[in-house]
Structure 1
Amino acid sequence: MEHITLLLAIVIVTALVFDFTNGFHDTANAMATTISTGALKPKTAVAMSAVLNLVGAFLSVEVAKTISGGIINENGLRTEVIFAALVGAILWNLLTWLLGLPSSSSHALFGGLIGAAVMSMGWSSVNGGTVVTKVLLPAVAAPIVAGLAAMLATRLTYRISRKTDQKATAKGYRAGQIASAGLVSLAHGTNDAQKTMGIITLALITGGVIAPDADPPLWVIVSAGTAIALGTYLGGWRIIRTMGKGLTDLAPQQGFAAQTSAATAILASSHIGFSLSTTQVCSGAVMGSGLGRKGGVVRWSTATRMFVAWGLTLPAAGLVGAGAEFLTKQGPWGVGLTAALLVAGSGVIWKLSRRDSIDHTNVTADETGSAAAPAAEPAGVVTTAIAAVTPPPVGTLITGESEDVKATIPAPAPADPARPAGATL
């Protein structure tokens, strides 16, 4: 066994940086609906999600095995290829975070890895069958399945609760949302933290530090779980706003249905080793819950932007990964230049994000910065009192609490004796 070299150490640190970006990029998957419906305060929500992501990282290594020994042929793989792949994935994650688009961190990683490997060793280095069966097919099927499940679950919850007290029902579903959000966070840890574990394990195998087909070492599991938990706690507020308010307006019943459906799909995929995009699953579930409520709508303009980002993720990250690998092939100076470009690009994106800062204080506001209105209840649910038909007496002070409007009804003007009744101006 060889010792960890400087290059390998750089790759491990870069992989943990990717894991960190994965955490704050995907916080919205678990907590956007919980925050948007008011079930949890924003900081409390991300703290809970961070802890459960860390716990979930220890529950399984099946997805890590898929990445470390499935997508790319290990024979002839250079450590620099993995570094180049991570550069492509990190930059795409940061760019989509800046735009507030919930794209897939998983596909960014796969795209970067495929692009870098093809640049280094040609198309024969990619296991096409594994990519199709364990990446592309789940990418298409998972959001559809989760969306349909969430739509049916939403209709069922409203049907069950239509004759119950609406205030008590909403409170109960908020409690259910907290539990289901915790389940999604746990599922996210079992799926997404393992992707970084798989990358680090692949780098260790490439560097000769551990044997091929080895499981991730314990220190890899701990470090990957910690990195994604820290990123989750930081909170990807820009994407949380899009998921919680941009796609549809959610009531607690819908949030509960969406999160439960998403968690079920993610946990099932982790069990069988599918490297699922939790972002696509949760986004599909949110849209399904929006369509499942009577009168609910999906903002298809936002959804279309999101679909475009999904389609661009693999090729865009692949192109950046290929470009980074072209530089690293030039030698140590190429590796240094690639690292410098990564730092510079990340700094520019962060600087741009400060122009329109979004954090826990304004994450539930709409695009104009004002607090967004809660989702309307379905038809048949009485949510406002009906005012009396009889007009108030002259001189009564009328106040509008929600609009802070105060006005006194004036007395009618005296009739003009010079104008006949019924005459028009």
Structure 2
Amino acid sequence: MPIRRTATAALLAGSLALTACGSSDPAPAAPGTPTEISVSLFGTFGYDEVGLFKEYEAANPGITIRYESTQGEDKYWPALQTRLASGSGVADVQGIEVARIADVVQNQADLWTDLRDTPANDAVGRYIDWKEKAATTPDGAVLGLGTDIGPMGICYRSDLLQQAGLPTDPAQLSAQMPDWNGFLALGEKFQAAAPAGAAWHDSAGGLYNAIISTQQQIYYDASGNLVYASNPAVRQAFDTAAKAGQAGLTAKLEQFLDPGWDQGFGSGRFATIACPSWMIGYIKGKAGEAGAGKWNVTSLPGGAGGNWGGSYMGIPASSPHKEEAAKLITWLTAPEQQAKVFAKVGNFPSTTQAITEVSGATDPYFNGAPIGQIFSKSATSAPVQILGPQDGVVKNAMTQALLAVETGGATPDVAWADAGKKIDNQVG
């Protein structure tokens, strides 16, 4: 989550069709002492967009929820670290992006609440196995409940591909992308006949994150050593993305930060984008109703499984409302609520029950694409990634270096070296 995504609920046209979603009303609570639970998240977790905060308040008299969201996780996280260190200014519930969870588990356990000691304890076992393991300390403390995961696909503009003479059917398009080199080769065909002003892909950084999402070992090894510099998979992903940027296959837009990127979903600045499931809602929000039917989804090249993003919610140790906050996040992350969020926003569930419920989902906005099937297959075939405490730092350095290749003319070797210097300065 997305480092990830914002979208306004008013523009989320074309809700998904789910095949087996149950219903879940929060159990009415007896009126008690009025309590305000503060919730601070980043991007689009979907709870506000789906109306879950209001639903919970209505069923629990005396509870009010004060919610705030920061668009960019790269701004959200440093601010949260300052507040945690000072012991003031934190919310009762805070979001934790998957690239940060290892840092929380390894270095910040004393700053967060062990959810086993709260009403959230009974919810711990309902997630896919690796999701909660990543939020568990060596001595067994559970510091976050999983919200979503980020199984991967490729989202594309059918109308732009058609104008360039490329296949628009998801299966036919997938057949022409046997691997990432095939993806770039198809991009060269597109670029040769592309509509004016349209690039094959949105950004080299986004392409890099898609490629690296298919790997088990990325920036750290199983022993906790920082190995990005010696991991051939990282350098290969970097070079492939840099090649796309140098060849003019990208729109040279910085994801989430460049206003032109947001506008590009509707204006046709790019034909494809790496598409973790949570990007579905982002596209709807930015392309709007006019984009309905223009977008479609297919699998990653070669049908590979991958995961980019996904988040947790935790309770800071300084929260004065731990019990109430634990009840809230338990309900918000229950299978029924995860299915509702997927139906409206596209955030893919992390509970086994909800994954089963959404496996048959289709999306009219995306030409009826079987996104439940596409993302379920990606989720089940994705490797269990090794997470490290500074994953977010390394990832940001890599994407910034690739932006320098696209927009500044830096060579891949120079950009790689500059990324290494930034990482050394920040990580040590």
TM-score, with normalisation over the residues of structure 1? Answer: 0.27
TM-score, with normalisation over the residues of structure 2? Answer: 0.27
Larger Rg: 1
Report the structure, 1 or 2, having the larger strand content: 2
